[in-house]
Amino acid sequence: MRFDRKTALVTGGARGIGLAITERLLSEGARVAIVDRDPSVEAVAKTLGPSARALVADVTRSAEVDRAVGAAHAWADRLDIVVNNAGITGRSYPIWELSDEDWQQVLAVDLTSVFYVCRAAVKLMLPRQAGRIVNIASIAGKEGNPTLVPYSSAKAGVIGLTKALAKEVATRGILVHAVAPAVIGTELLQQMTKDTVDMLVAKIPMGRVGTPAEVATLVAWLASDECTFTTGAVHDLSGGRATY
Ligand code: NDP
């Protein structure tokens, strides 16, 4: 299988897109460390079997991230795949109704965490000159979604981080990609108003919401050894909304 003997780490893997990615990697032979702040991740990992392991950590705290990434690596003395998936949309309001905390919280979860996880993971991948990192950005980071200024800004930051890091490690066997989904059917949508969700679906030429399994399929390819001559790219999953 594609991921036999590989160790993967997926943040925010207890539900939604992260869970679909975790299940996909497990189904193809990987052992997967699921990093989530919610202790219910322990029960989720149990139901997924012995190749899944829960690591409770808040990805906005660098010490917790360093511990979790170190534990994932120590599991089988290797870390092959990292998927930065944990994210929140924050409150969906125009900028003049947002507080400092709204901004800081979204930037911390959606962008600073990606920096912390990549920093810790790349240090462990460099000695083996091999690794695959996939950062879940958003179409919001390419186009900007009204009433989601912090989210759009953070996801644009994830895209910039991905491009810069990919170039830093391009000759060291570590490939770094971003995925930019449009609307995907998960609990995250419940944080948005119905008007916001309707507005987002209306922009999708295919006229529907995407599925977590569709995201997992693309991520699995980007995380695999079949992906060899692309790095630093942003891969859209937007039903035709973004074609650039
Ligand atoms: P969900 O809200 O369903 O799942 C997010 C997961 O991340 C939850 O398990 C959550 O745990 C975890 N998480 C949140 N904050 C932290 C933290 N500080 N530390 C550790 N874990 C944390 O989201 P989705 O599956 O919908 O989204 C996954 C990713 O995809 C996100 O980055 C999102 O921005 C992106 N995306 C989603 C789209 C969509 O339409 N759904 C579209 C475009 C991008 P807890 O239960 O504790 O909150």
Quick: pLDDT tens for 123-166.
999 999 999 999 999 999 999 999 999 999 999 999 999 999 99
Q: Is residue 233 part of a domain?
A: yes
Mean pLDDT calculated for residue range 90-100: 96
And the tokens for 214? 């569709």
Q: Residue 151 catalytic?
A: yes
Site residues for ligand 1, CB cut-off 6 Å? 11-12, 14-18, 36-38, 58-60, 85-88, 109, 136, 138, 181, 183-184, 186-189
pTM as predicted: 0.98
Query: Given the CA of residue 187, which atom of ligand 1 is nearest to it?
Result: 3
Q: Is residue 156 part of a domain?
A: yes
d(CA 192, CA 176): 29
pLDDT given for residue 20 in this prediction: 98
For 198-232, b where at least 16 C-beta lie within 10 A, e where not — what string? Answer: eebbebbeeeebbebebbbebbbebbbeebeeebb
Band of residue 195 on the pLDDT scale cut at 50, 70, 90: confident
Mean pLDDT calculated for residue range 201-216: 96
Q: Is residue 57 part of a domain?
A: yes
- Give the percent of the chain with pLDDT over 90: 93
- Total domain count, the chain: 1
CA-based R_g, the chain, Å: 17
d(CA 32, CA 38): 17
Q: What is the largest CA-CA distance in the chain?
A: 51
Q: Is residue 126 part of a domain?
A: yes
Does pLDDT of 191 surpass 80? no
CA 147 / ligand 1 centre spacing (Å): 18
Q: Is residue 114 part of a domain?
A: yes
CA 14 / ligand 1 centre spacing (Å): 9
Band of residue 197 on the pLDDT scale cut at 50, 70, 90: confident
Query: Given the CA of residue 37, which atom of ligand 1 is nearest to it?
Result: 20
Does pLDDT of 192 surpass 80? no
CA 127 / ligand 1 centre spacing (Å): 31
Q: Is residue 72 part of a domain?
A: yes
Q: Is residue 244 part of a domain?
A: no
pLDDT given for residue 196 in this prediction: 80
pLDDT given for residue 40 in this prediction: 94
d(CA 231, CA 52): 27
Q: Whose CA is nearest to atom 41 of ligand 1?
A: 184
pLDDT given for residue 189 in this prediction: 79
Q: Is residue 243 part of a domain?
A: no
Catalytic residue (one of 93, 116, 151, 244): 151
Quote the domain boundaries for residue 115: 7-237
Q: What is the CATH number of the domain that holds 80?
A: 3.40.50.720
Q: Whose CA is nearest to atom 1 of ligand 1?
A: 188
